[in-house]
């Protein structure tokens, strides 16, 4: 089934129901469906073919969901990208997936223009413009030709989710219509039973978890309330109260921490479910959040390669030792732990977490080597180490040293590559340190080749990568520990500078 049919059916069942709201913009289900279908038809009239990739690069807004579902409906492939990316990072994604176009907003025009400077032939579709190449022009041009949802095979691509690893450049996890349908049904079964009466608030980026959970929300005809800009906890709670929000689509634990710092006089009695994930949550933070907002939280452990669906904690599981876990295995997936040779480990022993099910990606875009490493005999090898206790999965460590800060993955190799471009840096090792607010923060151990200050290196990083990835702390050292092969031993650097 084409996942664009979620919107088609919602428009048929609830035509007058508000599907998406953004400030003064209110689109009914039938209006959103017609606009999405027109966007798909408009692209087809401009020569786009099913399977063509289109990057979505803009902050949260109503037309983000219109564009997303329009791409599904037309059989195109959506490539949502974090709106905070640097031009070089966006340019890599656009070039790597061979995108036909980038949909942007006024706020992201300059970054997109810089990203496309070396990529001729890629269209820039401006969601705020009015010219011939604007989003509005594509939609209006397609209205007379808008047709039924394109016929797709279950394994046809719908979404490329750019994730990454410690080896550097991002990898594009290929998610099919089958994968997204499985994720949607899992969400409805295990996370939240979205209903037409619900008002669902999107405050996290639609390019990630919040956008993925727009699918079950739209499928059930709920109202999707879009919040853009930086996260303001007081304003978030005022919006929840004013708009009678019942569900927050997705939060990172950092955002829950910020909500606890909001004005205690702000009450949200109608809030009934808050899925969260992207990083471990401190048990004390979880208990404080439950004490203030009630038993509304549902934890998710998943990856872009198995979106939103590996294990999780139900609201009733948020107690005692279970709070230290990643929860129990989702209904429609299998999870097993394996040793370094790929064999099963004994009950209670630790091993690499492997996942099998309809939600597991097809593979990585144009990266057979990464496929061979991650997908073996139908199982996704996550690179995470865990242990089962009484049916609950406990995450112990990550095989790939990814730093998770504020719910975002940050990859040490990427930052190291940038710092090594600076003439005053001889060697560098990047790692994560515990941070009470963000989960982890980025630290760089630097061996200097010439006098240089931490501020200069942080500014250098900011000019080359997204600001949230730059090191929060830079420690200057005389030398970095190495093994017999001359490779820097990251764990020893971390132990020496942060105590673990």
Query: What pLDDT does residue 165 have?
Result: 45
- Domain identity same for 390 and 449: no
Query: What pLDDT does residue 168 have?
Result: 60
- Domain identity same for 396 and 407: no
Of 343, 367, 400, the one marking the end of a domain is 400
Give me the helix-helix angle, 62-74 and 29-45, nearest 10°.
60
Q: Which residues contact 195 (CB under 8 A, 6 or more apart)?
A: 220, 222
CATH number of the domain enclosing 442? 3.30.300.30
- Domain identity same for 358 and 450: no
How far apart CA 108 and CA 280 sit, in angstroms, is: 31
Model pTM score: 0.87
User: Helix (H, G, I), strand (E, B), or coil: what is residue 27?
Assistant: strand
| Number of domains observed in the structure of the chain | 2
Query: What pLDDT does residue 482 have?
Result: 83
- Domain identity same for 197 and 165: yes
Query: What pLDDT does residue 486 have?
Result: 63
> Residue 484's pLDDT band (boundaries 50, 70, 90)?
low
Q: Give residue 453's domain range.
A: 403-498
- Domain identity same for 100 and 148: yes
For residue 397, which of 409, 383, 414 has the smallest C-alpha distance? 383
pLDDT tens across 382-398, in order? Answer: 998 899 999 999 988 67
Of 370, 400, 430, the one marking the end of a domain is 400
Residue in the block written with tokens 């105590």: 499
pLDDT tens across 296-322, in order? Answer: 999 999 999 999 999 999 999 999 989
Is the pLDDT reported for residue 36 higher than 90?
yes
- Domain identity same for 359 and 234: yes
Average pLDDT over residues 276-299: 90
> Which range (9-13, 260-264, 343-347, 403-407) has the least confidence?
403-407
> Which range (160-174, 255-269, 371-385) has the least confidence?
160-174
Average pLDDT over residues 293-297: 97
- Domain identity same for 362 and 450: no
Average pLDDT over residues 477-485: 80
- Domain identity same for 365 and 411: no
- Domain identity same for 44 and 100: yes
> Which range (27-41, 69-83, 111-125, 389-403) has the least confidence?
389-403
Tokens matching residue 181: 């349908």
Contact 71, 54 (CB under 8 A): yes
- Domain identity same for 362 and 438: no
CATH number of the domain enclosing 300? 3.40.50.12780
Query: What pLDDT does residue 107 have?
Result: 92
How far apart CA 309 and CA 329 sit, in angstroms, is: 9
Is the pLDDT reported for residue 166 higher than 60?
no
Is the pLDDT reported for residue 485 higher than 60?
no
> Residue 400's pLDDT band (boundaries 50, 70, 90)?
low
Of 400, 420, 445, the one marking the end of a domain is 400
Query: What pLDDT does residue 499 have?
Result: 60
Q: Can you spell out the DSSP letters for 143-164? A: GGG--SPPP--TTSEEEEEEE-
> Which range (74-78, 174-178, 278-282) has the least confidence?
278-282
- Domain identity same for 434 and 383: no
* Rounded (5°) CA angle 279-284-288: 105
> Which range (25-39, 125-139, 162-176, 202-216) has the least confidence?
162-176
Is the pLDDT reported for residue 340 higher than 90?
no
Query: What pLDDT does residue 167 have?
Result: 47
The pLDDT mean for the chain works out to 93
Is the pLDDT reported for residue 219 higher than 60?
yes
Query: What pLDDT does residue 366 have?
Result: 97
The CA dihedral of 463, 466, 469, 470, to the nearest 10 degrees, is: 20
Edge-first strand order for the sheet with 171-176 is 123-126, 101-104, 53-57, 77-80, 157-163, 171-176, 363-364
> Residue 401's pLDDT band (boundaries 50, 70, 90)?
confident
- Domain identity same for 151 and 260: yes
Is the pLDDT reported for residue 183 higher than 60?
yes
């Amino acid at each position: 089934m084409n996942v664009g049919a979620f919107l088609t059916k919602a428009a048929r069942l609830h035509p007058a129901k508000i599907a998406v709201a953004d400030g003064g913009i209110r689109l009914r289900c039938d209006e959103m469906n017609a606009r999405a279908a027109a966007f798909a038809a408009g692209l087809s009239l401009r020569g786009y073919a099913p399977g063509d990739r289109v990057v979505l690069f803009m902050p949260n807004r109503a037309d983000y969901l219109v564009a997303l579902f329009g791409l599904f409906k037309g059989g195109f492939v959506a490539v949502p990208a974090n709106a905070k990316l640097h031009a070089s990072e966006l340019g890599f994604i656009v070039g790597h997936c061979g995108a036909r176009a980038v949909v942007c907003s006024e706020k992201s025009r300059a970054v997109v223009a810089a990203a496309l400077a070396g990529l001729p032939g890629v269209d820039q579709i401006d969601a705020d413009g009015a010219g011939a190449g604007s989003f509005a022009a594509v939609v209006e041009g397609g209205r007379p030709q808008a047709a039924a949802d394109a016929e797709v095979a279950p394994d046809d691509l719908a979404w490329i989710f750019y994730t990454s690893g410690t080896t550097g450049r991002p990898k594009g996890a290929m998610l099919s219509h089958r994968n997204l349908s499985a994720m949607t049904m899992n969400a409805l079964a295990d996370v939240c039973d979205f209903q037409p009466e619900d008002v669902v608030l999107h405050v996290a980026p639609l390019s990630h978890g919040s956008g993925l959970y727009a699918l079950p929300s739209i499928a059930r005809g709920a109202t999707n309330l879009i919040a853009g800009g930086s996260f303001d906890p007081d304003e978030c709670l005022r919006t929840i109260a004013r708009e009678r929000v019942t569900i927050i689509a997705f939060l990172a634990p950092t955002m829950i921490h910020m909500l606890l710092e909001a004005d205690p006089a702000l009450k949200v009695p109608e809030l009934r479910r808050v899925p969260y994930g992207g990083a471990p949550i401190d048990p004390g933070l979880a208990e404080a959040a439950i004490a203030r907002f009630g038993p509304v939280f549902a934890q998710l452990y998943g990856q872009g390669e198995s979106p939103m669906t590996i294990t999780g904690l139900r609201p009733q599981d948020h107690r005692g030792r279970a709070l230290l876990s990643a929860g129990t295995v989702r209904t429609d997936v299998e999870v097993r732990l394996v040793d370094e040779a790929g064999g099963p480990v004994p009950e209670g022993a630790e091993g690499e977490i492997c996942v099998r099910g309809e939600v597991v990606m097809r593979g990585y875009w144009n990266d057979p080597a990464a496929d061979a490493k991650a997908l073996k005999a139908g199982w996704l090898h996550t690179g995470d180490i865990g242990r089962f206790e009484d049916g609950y999965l406990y995450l112990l460590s990550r095989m790939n040293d990814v730093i998770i800060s504020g719910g975002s993955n940050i990859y040490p190799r990427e930052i190291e590559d940038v710092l090594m471009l600076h003439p005053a840096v001889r060697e560098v090792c990047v790692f994560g340190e515990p941070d009470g607010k963000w989960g982890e923060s980025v630290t760089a151990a630097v061996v200097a080749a010439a006098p240089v200050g931490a501020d200069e290196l942080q500014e250098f990083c900011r000019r080359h990568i997204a600001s949230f990835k730059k090191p929060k702390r830079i420690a200057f050292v005389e030398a970095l520990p190495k093994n017999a092969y001359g490779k820097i031993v990251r764990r020893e650097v971390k132990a020496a500078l942060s105590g673990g």
